[in-house]
Amino acid sequence: MMKIEILGTGCAKCRKLYENALDAVKQSGKEAEVVKVEEIRKIVSYGVMSTPALVVDGVVKTSGKLLSPEEIIGML
């Protein structure tokens, strides 16, 4: 199963990206676990300097951008 992580400290954009990721998974019909990562150490361990960030199976796909569900589907 795919693992999608939303990196962010809980800001509005981070929460919205989490919601959009859940939407994207539902729309795509794929099986994925979507989790929020709010611990600064873990976020920094990915080399991310600006949030929100989208990580799919351990690979940082974007950072500092709020993606639409459609944009996220394209990365799954």
Which pLDDT tens digit goes with each residue over 2-55? 999 999 998 999 999 999 999 999 999 999 999 999 999 999 999 999 999 999
Concerning whether 42 is annotated as a catalytic residue, the answer is: no
Please check whether residue 52 is in contact with residue 17, taking contact to mean a CB–CB distance below 8 angstroms: yes
pTM of the model: 0.94
Catalytic member of 4, 7, 14, 21: 14
Chain centre to alpha carbon of residue 42: 14
* Active-site residue, 14 included: yes
Q: Which of 11, 40, 44, 49 is catalytic?
A: 11
Query: Which domains does the chain possess?
Result: 2-73 (3.40.30.10)
Residue (of 6, 7, 9, 8) closest to 20 by Cα position: 6
